[in-house]
Structure 1
Amino acid sequence: MESSPHAYTGPLPTPSTQAGREGLTAILARPARTAVALDFDGTLAEIVPDPEQARAHPRAVPALAVLAPKVASVAVITGRPAEVAVRYGGFAGVRGLDHLVVLGHYGAERWDAVSGEVHAPAPHPGVTAARGELPGYLDQIDAPPGIWIEEKGHAVAVHTRRADDPQAAFAALRDPLALLAARHGLVLEPGRMVLELRPPGTDKGKALADHVRGTGAEAVLYAGDDLGDLPAFAAVDALREEGVPGLLVCSASAEAPELAARADLVLRGPSAVVEFLASLAEQL
């Protein structure tokens, strides 16, 4: 990329694609018109065997508190309930994050730092029905030992990370759980050793596109780590076609190579993502 007054320098890594380089240049040129959106688990927080023990990287909140006042918006888009992501992230009451938005359940819920309130729809009846049927169904299909169920309010998830062979368990359960989801009017969302049953019509792509349009942003950065982030990557591609430059960042893992193949910038996990956000804040 040719140098310019707004070209990135110093510690910021160079995106591998032309679209990504254009996106980063636009972000640096127009930070006040930039929307920054981030996944939580695997991006701002390390993946851990017990999701209830997940917490934001220690440097995540300080980095975001410096970045947020310089950009149009910062949003965390997660499959978790919004209130849980806020609590595990330590986002509430932080100076600099006064206008942070957390879009939980893939955008079905919204928490605004300015009010501290969560706005959420009524639970989907199919989730309640599937949740009640799931333990017996797993026994019926001889699910391997170590599988466990996570209650997520507006969704229910089956984790395979504790199984003797997590990947084999994941592959064995994917089709049967897809059938269960369809029977209750739900969709199956695969992730990193987790299969989530949730209502249709909500995904990170729609949540991101709606948020960007709602802010009137003229550039966008999205960072994620998992298959559930692919719709958000597709949303950035669509925004690019509309003339909104974007940067796609992957928090890389061996469990989701598809995301790294689609990204403009591949970073080694949450620590590197947080370092990138801190460096970006310094450049703006």
Structure 2
Amino acid sequence: MGSHTDAHTSTDPLPTPATAAGRAGLDALVADPGRAVIALDFDGTLAEIVPDPDQARAHPDAVPALAALAPKVASVAVITGRPAEVAVHHGGFAGVPGLEHLVVLGHYGAERWDAATGTLSAPAPHPGVAAVRAELPALLERAGAEGTRVEEKGRSVAVHTRRATDPQAAFEALRGPLTGLAARHGLIVEPGRMVLELRPPGMDKGVALLDHARGLGAGTVLYAGDDLGDLPAYDAVDTLRAEGTPGLLVCSGSDEVTELKRRADLEVPGPAGVVALLAALARRLA
């Protein structure tokens, strides 16, 4: 993608965002990193998408890159639909020197884990989740959804179709019934990459990102994601831009989701590309 010579040296090139707003966001981050918030999705962004979500792990270079970058910025926030403790475990974030400025906002911000203290804060779960969990096996059996997998998330439930004989057909067949089930119990359905998640309304990555960035008085915000659930966070960055806070939208590219690519200022090749960008930023800010 070349180097952006206005703000970056040829000895440590950073990729050039494709948009003027993205270039302004990157320049602002480099100029004043102490007020920058770096926000990142987990699955598909810091970790490769795998058939069994329990086996997902952060890219091997992710923690070293984050540990190098986090002390130089106001905050690094991992914003995920997973429980915070699961993301901490799968990311290997606990007890790492340099990650004191890291927070994990789990369940779309309903939970918060702080690396500096190792503490987790969370409200009580929505009662509809337990009701949906109880009805889900019978619904899947009626739908003949062989090969689907239910992921328990505590505050939400996700149905994965990636292992079905025809993953896309199973996804489409289940979308209507799961939407009806969710609605009966006051929940919504969030579609993703071969996954349908049933969760409470009012929980999304955009709300979590806006609360976090505004709470810190962020001077610039970078957000990197890969899936439809990241679009609210993209919207949040656009909101902050409209208020005068520069931002950079990064897409962890894949062949499965194209909508983020159209919105992004900068596309990188999957988690390896995201980690390379974080490492390059850390070197640039050194």
Partner of 1:23: 25
Question: Which residue of structure 2 lines up, in the alignment, with residue 263 of structure 1?
Answer: 264
Tell me how far 1:7 sits from its aligned partner.
4.3
Contact 2:4 2:13 in 1 (8 A): no
SS where residue 183 of structure 2 aligns? helix
Q: Give the superposition deviation at 1:51.
A: 0.5
Letter in 1 for 2:166: D
Of 117, 135, 138, the residue aligned with 1:136 is 138
CA contact (8 A) 1:8 1:25 kept: no
Report SS of the residue matched to 2:159: strand
Q: Which residue of 2 aligns with 1:78?
A: 80
CA 1:88–1:3: 2 relative to 1, 3 Å: closer
Per-residue CA distance 1:101-151 (angstroms, 9 max, x = gap)? 0000000000011111111111110000000000001112332x1011111
Compared CA separation, residues 249 and 8, structure 1 to 2 (3 A): farther
Deviations 1:128-180 (A, max 9, x none): 0000000001112332x101111100000000000111111111111111111
Q: TM-score, normalized by length of structure 1? A: 0.97
- 2:39·2:222 contact (CA, 8 Å) conserved in 1? yes
For 1:35, the equivalent position in structure 2 comes to 37
Structure 1 residues 153 and 8 mapped into 2: Cα distance closer, same or farther (>3 Å)?
farther
User: Could you tell me which residue of structure 2 aligns to residue 189 of structure 1?
Assistant: 190
Rounded to whole Å, the distance in 2 between the matches of 1:37 and 1:237 is 14
Following the alignment from structure 1 to structure 2, what is the Cα–Cα distance between the partners of residues 250 and 173?
A: 27
Partner amino acid, structure 1, of 2:119 = E
SS of aligned partner of 2:37: strand
* Structure 1 partner of 2:129: 127
Q: Is the 8 A contact 1:55 1:88 kept in 2?
A: yes
**Structure 1: tracts of 5 or more residues without a match:** none
What amino acid maps onto 2:15 in structure 1? P
Instruction: Give 1:107's aligned residue.
Output: 109
Which residue identity is paired with 1:152?
K
1:225–1:256 CA contact under 8 A, matched in 2: yes
Q: In 2, are the aligned partners of 1:66 and 1:96 still within 8 Å (CA)? A: yes
Please identify runs of 4+ aligned residues in structure 1 that moved more than 6 A.
none
Whether contact under 8 Å (2:59, 2:271) holds in the other structure is yes
8 Å Cα contact 2:72-2:282 kept in structure 1: yes
Give the letter for the 1:166 counterpart: P
Q: Which amino acid aligns with 1:102?
A: V
Q: Match of 1:282, SS?
A: helix
User: Which residue of 2 is the match for residue 239 of structure 1?
Assistant: 240
> Is the Cα–Cα contact under 8 Å of residues 148 and 160 in structure 1 kept in the other structure?
yes
SS in 2 for 1:174: helix
AA of the residue aligned to 1:105: H
Tell me how far 1:8 sits from its aligned partner. Answer: 6.0
Give the length in aligned residue pairs.
282
- Displacement of 1:85 in angstroms is 0.3
Corresponding residue SS for 1:76: strand
Q: Deviations over 1:8-58 (max 9, x none)?
A: 654311101111011001111110010000000000001111100111000
Matched, 1:219 2:220: yes
SS at match of 1:222: strand
Overall identity of the aligned pairs, in %: 71
- C-alpha contact 1:8 1:28 (8 A) present in aligned 2: no
C-alpha distance in structure 1 between counterparts of 2:201 and 2:83, whole Å: 16
CA shift, 1:2, in A, is 8.3
Counterpart of 1:61 in structure 2 is 63
Corresponding letter in the other structure for 1:271: A
Q: Please state how far the C-alpha of 1:3 moved relative to its aligned partner.
A: 4.9
Q: Is the alpha carbon distance of 1:2 and 1:74 closer, same or farther for their aligned partners in structure 2, counting shifts above 3 Å?
A: closer
Letter in 2 for 1:76: V
Amino acid at match of 1:199: P
